[in-house]
Every structure is written in structure tokens, then in C-alpha cells.
Structure 1
Amino acid sequence: MSTTTLTSIPLCDLKAQHEVLQEELAHAMQAVAASGHYILGPQVKAFESEFADYCAAEHAIGVGNGTDALHLALRALKIGPGDEVITTPFTFVATTEAIGLVGATPVFVDIDPSNFNIDVDKIEAAITDRTKAILPVHLYGQPCAMDRVMAIAERHDVKVIEDCAQALGATYENRKIGTWGHIGCFSFFPSKNLGCFGDGGAVITHDSELAGRVEMLRRHGGKVKYHHAELGLNSRLDEIQAAILRVKLPHLDAWNVRRREIADCYNGQLANLEAIVVPTEEFDRTSSRCVYHQYTLRIAQRDEFREKLTSRGIQSFPYYPVPLHLQEVHASLGYGQGSFPHAESAANECLSLPIFPEFTAEQQRMVIDAVRSVRSQTPQSRLCA
């Protein structure tokens, strides 16, 4: 079987989006090249303003990547050695990497098996006198119950940092994620719902003091050039990446609507298959919206299922196959197998199917037919609009 056949339906097709916007993008990049402003210039300033407006936040600060966004948020809140940060074990390592980089300790809480996010009912029991922050992750684009998270944080006088890397544009109770907590952190990695042509990230907040600290820390800890108040980072969103993001941002809502349409089509045609659990949206869809950065199933015998999809030319991927509490990097925390059974079960069963705004109805029919065929059912799919 040829390589072309094996990868006929990609998990994410970044070239398809570029083809639609290539003239605008080329013009934007050429304008930056001609301007002579390449670091923290007018494009970054304009994007920060537009991004803050989009999120309905008072401040937005462009940074080098999503991991730095988390790191700088923790630094801005003065979280460090001896402090604890409560988070989920079922996420990408950047979440806990940022916690470790400031010298703090991640404290894990198991996930809610219905939505893959941190189980809010279990957060309060994990709080100690060393807890300084709660760091929920809006995994796969699914919003957490942020009103409940904030109520817990207020009762215990701890801060909330939202990891929004996979959920830009998602809402909870008619409010954009990232604006509920004290700081919201975003990634513009190319495959994200809003992606640039390399690494990029941003921090949003309503707090002018926190915004000032992040802005200072992102450029070597100084408010004035060559005068440094504390050790910071070199973490500045590139001018050319900002220009690319400015071209793409006006399209984001339409792209997210398309992702939801694709997810609804998948749900309608896969929900009744044996040993498959489709994702569900826990909250009222009129006020709380998942943006489906990934469309993730739970599947018994996941690895065998994935191999069969691959043989039919369908890409898929398990995000994430090993929960963080079982990773070597966190062995010193003392967790073991069985510590967080829902996260461990999800890691064994999760599988993300292709989803991206340019995904055609015919491509989706092919994926659905392959899934149904693997489940030993005659393909009876229909084209979704």
C-alpha cells in the first residue's frame, strides 16, 4: 500500500488553510519585511489590542509560546518554591512543565470521565496551606465549569490560571474562557484553532498590575531597556507571527463554527456504535461552547482500532497516551498506577479523529465509513452539510 493511501485523510491539514488565505498572508509578511520592525513593533501592538478585544479582556500580552505564557503567568503571580498548584494529570506536559520551572509543585486531581477536564468536585479536597493556585485545562476545546472553580478559589484565597491552549474562542456561560481566572494562557502553535507559522502565545488578564509584570518579565525583567528589576525571559511574540495572526483572527469564529458542525456530524453517525463513546458537551450549548480543537472518542482496544484506521488511510492520534502522574519526569511526586483511575482509563481509550475547518463532507464520510467498517458494521453514512 502506498504512503499516499496511508495518509489520505490527515488529522489536521495546515496547507488547506494557507491555500485559502495565501494572498492576505503573503501581503502581511511582505509588509513586515519591508517595515524594518521585527521585534515588539506595530504588528504585535495591534494584535495584542485586537486579541484583547476578541477575548473581552482588559489586557493581552504576546509571548513566545504557550508554555512561556503559563510560565510567565505563574511568575507574575509570584508562585515559586514551596508552593503548590492544583491541576489535571490528563494534559500535555507543558502545563506541569511551567509549574516546575518556577520551582512549584503540581498537585494532581483526577478528571471527570464525561468531559476529560479536571473534576471540580475533587479540587477542594486537594487544597493545603501551600496551595497558591488552581490551573484548570480546557482540554480539547471543552470549557471547564469556571464559576465553580472560581468559587473554590475565592473561598480559599488562591489564584486561578486558565490553560486555554486548546480552547481559544470557547465560552462558558456566555463568557470567553481565559477571562474567568486571574490570568488566561494561550498557544498559537500552528495546529491550534488560531495558529501562526511557528511558535507563539499570549496571556490575557483584567488586572493591570499582572499585565505589567508579564510584559516586563517577557523582555528580560526590565521596564526600561538595559535596566532590569528581576530575572525574566526572552519571550516575545515575533512581529511576523503577529501579522499572520491578525490575518487569521477575523476568521476564527467561523472556523470554530465549522469545527462544531463536524463534531455534530460525527456524533450523529458514530454515537450508536459498539464500544465507542463520543464526546458530549456537559453545559447548555446556547451559552457554553466547545470549539473542538480535537474530536476525541473513547474506544475499547484503542491501539488495535487505530491500526485498522491507519490501514484504511485515516490518521488518528491518542492525546494523551500516558497521564502526567505516570511520566518519569514526575516520578518524585510519589504517584503510582491507580492514583487517578479516570485519567488512566482515558489515556488507554482516547483517540482523536481528523477535524479542521477545511475538512470536506466527503473526507468526513470516508472517516465515518472507516470507523463503522472497523466496528464490523456496513458503512451507512450520509454526507453532512
Structure 2
Amino acid sequence: MPVRTKELPPRPDRFGAEELAALTAALDKNSLWYWPKANETSIVATAMEAYAKRFGAHSAVATSSGTASLHVAVAASRMPPGSEVITTPITDIGTINAILYQNLIPVFADVDPNTAMPRPEHITAAITDRTRGVVAVHLTGCPMEIDDIAAICARRGLALIEDCAQALGATYKSKSVGLFGHFGCFSLNDQKHITSGEGGFVLTGTDHDYYLCHNYADKFYDRYGRNIRLQALAPNYRMSELDGAMAATQLPKLDGIVRRRRELGDRLDRELSKIRGVIPQRKPADAECSYFFYLLRIDPRIITCTRDQFLRALAKEGIPARAAYVREPIYRSYYFLQKSFFPGVWPAEVVSGRQYDYKSVSLPGAEEAVATGISLELHEGFADSDIDDYIAAIDLVAKNNR
């Protein structure tokens, strides 16, 4: 008899009367355009005021997606074309695309296999005289050692952008992620802790950065009358009033969702740490995770089977675990091996006067993290008994493969 004989629970009902009322009120305006007419109130602007207050930021700029928020932040950092930007090879491709869109060169830092994220020393090792920025990714909702990374960037004069797409509600030293760098970028797509369907936002620290991000999210139109119309190439990443209504109504639900995920994830941390050969994702001291999903890895020095064999054994016990967050470090993808993001000529290479050969990149920590990593679904709809089954199945498979 397998450990588990039923499917994992779906997420609880996420939308109700509050969302319906907010959407109806938006439709009753008879216009879904985010910029208000005279004597009207923008739902999007009101939502972003609430988000800035919730996360402790100076201001927040709405965008159409998490990837859009990253692109806006990278553009607003105004790094010269051809500059190098350090980031992680274990992330969603949206992180990387935001760098490529601005004709910048992604440089991949190695990671600690036990966190699947770069540590400060990995960032330092990747810095060259061409480095102008760092995009730090808080993977799975687990904060990086972001204050040390921020200090490195401050000393070197580098722009620091935090990719918090998976980290709504996560904190480091009692401070929300997204507040340590120049810009904090978040996603509100349907998979996230709370959602506007699609959408995102950028946390900013000054009026200057707020207006700049606002312009880059809206074709560089001069909505605020500051005489800066059409001064830079900028896409249309606007959020509609319907998305704003959803974002506003979902925000009060975030703390309860994160609280439950943290209870479940922290319990998994404690119990899986007791199983020889199993390594839960390490988190820095003073970090509080929000658990977008749960990441662990097997220790190949102790576990005698491969990660994929471990996954198959878990499946026989009724646990549908998956391989690490990415199939391969991004520098191993066709996208980078062939540099197919710009067919023919990569303008950033031309501007930089250098050729970048990603075929020669080899980062042992990243490759170990991917080869040994296991992802588990985790959300606020789980019962304690679901966590019991995770623990029992992983313990059983580990014991059978030591």
C-alpha cells in the first residue's frame, strides 16, 4: 500500500463576493482605462497606494505582469547598452528577458546548491569592470542574503533589482523583500499567492524612480505633466482597472495565505532536516519564507539512487514530486548556447565590443542544484495530514536508497 492514495488538495476557493463587487464597480465606471478623468479616482492608483503601504515602500507602480515589472525596473536603472548584469541561472526566463530587452549582457553567478541561489561571494566573483547591475532572485519565496548583496552593490555603484515574483510576503530581518535594492519587482499572475489574473508591480524608493518606472510602463507618455514625454523607448505595460480591482481586493488576503504556507513549509523544514540524505532548501538566519513551492534536494554522498529514480519512487508512494525548478541552468539552454534571442546579430555584443560564449560557462553549484533538486507543491489548502504524507514518503524512499 503506498503512503498516499489520493490526489493532493487543490487551492481553496480564492475568489468570492469581494472580487465580484470590485469588478462590478470597475465595470460600472464604463471605462477600464487606468488614468482617471477629472473628478474620477483611478482604481489602479488606489490599489498601488495600498500595496506601497503594505510592503513599506515609498511607492508602487502597476504593470501588466511580473516580467513587465522586471523590464520596467531594468530600463529605469538606465545601464549603458552592452553592460553586464549579474543574475542567477536558476530562475524563470522572464528574469533574463528583462536584461536582454535593454541590450544588456546577462552574466550568471554560481549558486549554493543548498539554496539554489547565489550567495554574496558568488555575486562578488562574477563582477567585472563591465558590471553595472545585479538582478537578485528570491527563489521559491525564500529570501537571499539580500542585505549583504545590497552592500556589495552600494560599494561598487551597481544597480540592484530584486526579483520577488515568487516571494510575496517574504521578509528578511523583518523587512519585506523588494526594499533592499533600487527596485523590487513582483508578480500577480494566477499562480502566485494573490492574483489579479495577470499583473505585477514595482516598488520604488523615491519620487524620481516612481515617475521613471511609471513612464517606462506607459510608452513614456508624460501622464504627470513633467515635460518628459517620449524621451526613451518604452513598451505598453499598463494595468487595466479590472486588474486593479482584483489586485486591491486580493491584497488583504495575503497575510493569511502566507501565514498558513509558512506554518506548513517551516514544519517540512524541521522534519525533513531529520532525514539523513535529504536537504531542505536552506534559508538565511532572520529570513521568513512565503513558500511559493517547496524545494529540497538529495545528498548524492548519502542517497545511492539518482534524483530521477528518487522521484519515481516517490510517485509510487503517491507523491507527485517534480525535478528542480529548472530543467537545466539557463546558460545550458538552446536559447543561450545559440544566442537565439537576437537572430543573426546580438546588438549588445556589438555595442560591448566583446563576444560572449555561454558554451564555456560551467557553474558547479548550479549544476548540482539542478541535478539533485526536487520540487513539491505547497499551498494554503494543504492539511497537516498532507504534510505527514510528504514526510513519510520522503523518509521511506530515503531509507530504501541509503
TM class by shorter chain equals: 0.7 to 0.9
Secondary structure, aligned partner of 1:96: helix
Q: Distance in 2 between matches of 1:311 and 1:243?
A: 44
If the length of structure 2 is used for normalisation, what is the TM-score? 0.84
Shift of 1:179: 0.8
> In structure 2, the residue corresponding to 1:325 is in which secondary structure?
helix
C-alpha change, 1:365 and 1:125, in structure 2 (3 Å) is closer
Match of 1:122 in 2: 122
Preserved CA contact (<8 Å) 1:28 1:243:
yes
Question: Counterpart in 1 of 2:294?
Answer: 295
Q: Output one character per residue of 1:46-65: Cα deviation in whole Å (capped at 9) or x when no partner.
A: 11000000111111000011
The answer (yes or no) to whether the contact 1:91–1:320 under 8 Å persists in 2 is yes
Give the AA of the match of 2:55: C
- 2:390, 2:17 → 1: CA distance? 31
Give the deviation of 1:248 after TM superposition.
1.8
> How far does residue 254 in structure 1 lie from its aligned partner after superposition?
2.0
Residue aligned with 1:204, SS: strand
Write out per-residue CA displacement over residues 122-156 of structure 1, whole angstroms, 9 at most, x where no aligned residue.
32232222211111111111112222112211221
Amino acid at match of 1:17: D
| CA displacement 1:192-231 (0-9 Å, x = unmatched) | 122232x211111112112111111211111149x63332
Partners in 2 of 1:122 and 1:266 — Cα distance? Answer: 28
Matches within 5 A, 1:298-377: 298-299=297-298, 301-317=306-322, 318-331=324-337, 332=339, 333-336=356-359, 339-376=362-399
Query: Which residues of structure 2 form unaligned runs of 5+?
Result: 36-41, 301-305, 340-355
Instruction: Confirm or deny: 8 A CA contact 2:114 2:279 kept in the other structure.
Output: no
* Aligned counterpart, 1:24: 18
> Structure 1: which 5+ residue stretches go unaligned?
378-385
What secondary structure is seen at the aligned counterpart in 2 of 1:162? strand
Cα distance in 2 for partners of 1:131, 1:281 equals: 27
Query: SS in structure 2 opposite 1:371?
Result: helix
Q: Given residue 207 of structure 2, which amino acid in structure 1 is its aligned partner?
A: S
Q: Distance in 2 between matches of 1:189 and 1:337?
A: 35
**Counterpart AA for 1:306:** L
Query: CA 1:359–1:329 in 2, change beyond 3 Å: closer, same or farther?
Result: same
What is aligned with 1:381? none
Residue 255 (1) aligns with residue 260 (2): no
1:235 correspondence with 2:234? no
Cα-to-partner distance string for 1:145-178 (whole Å, 9 max, x where unaligned): 2221122112211111111111122111221111
Q: Which residue of the partner structure matches residue 208 of structure 1? A: 207
How far the C-alpha of 1:338 sits from its partner, in A, is 6.9
Residue 364 to residue 84, structure 1, CA distance change in 2 (3 Å): same
- Is the aligned partner of 1:244 residue 2:246? yes
Q: Is the 8 A contact 1:6 1:314 kept in 2?
A: no
Task: Quote the offset at 1:25 in angstroms.
Answer: 1.8
Partner in structure 1 of residue 303 of structure 2: none
- Which deviates more, 67-76 or 357-366? 357-366
Q: How many residue pairs were aligned?
A: 364
**What is the Cα deviation at residue 7 of structure 1?**
7.6
CA contact (8 A) 1:17 1:358 kept: no
Deviation at 1:80, TM superposition (A): 4.5
SS of the residue 1:61 aligns to: strand
Alignment of 1:1-385 (within 5 A): 8-9=7-8, 13-14=10-11, 16-18=12-14, 21-40=15-34, 42-197=42-197, 199-224=198-223, 228-284=230-286, 288-299=287-298, 301-317=306-322, 318-331=324-337, 332=339, 333-336=356-359, 339-376=362-399
Give the letter for the 2:210 counterpart: A
TM-score by length of 1: 0.88
**Contact 1:83/1:130 (8 A) holds in 2:** yes
The 8 Å contact of residues 263 and 292 in structure 1, kept in 2 or not, is answered as: yes
AA at the equivalent of 2:293: Q
Partner of 2:347: none
| Partner secondary structure for residue 195 of structure 1 | coil
SS at match of 1:375: helix
Instruction: Report sequence identity in percent.
Output: 32
Structure 1 vs Structure 2 CA RMSD: 2.3
Q: Deviations over 1:252-299 (max 9, x none)?
A: 122112111101222333223343212232213xxx312111211102
Q: What is the identity, as a one-letter code, of the residue corresponding to 2:237?
A: S
What is aligned with 1:380? Answer: none
Residue 313 of structure 2 aligns with an amino acid whose one-letter code is: K
Q: Distance in 1 between matches of 2:34 and 2:127?
A: 39
Asked if 1 retains the 8 angstrom alpha-carbon contact of 2:114 and 2:297, the reply is: no
2:319 and 2:21 map into 1 onto residues whose CA distance is 35
Residue 382 of structure 1: aligned partner: none
SS of the residue corresponding to residue 184 of structure 2 reads strand
Task: Give the stretch that moved more between structures: 102-111 or 351-360.
Answer: 351-360
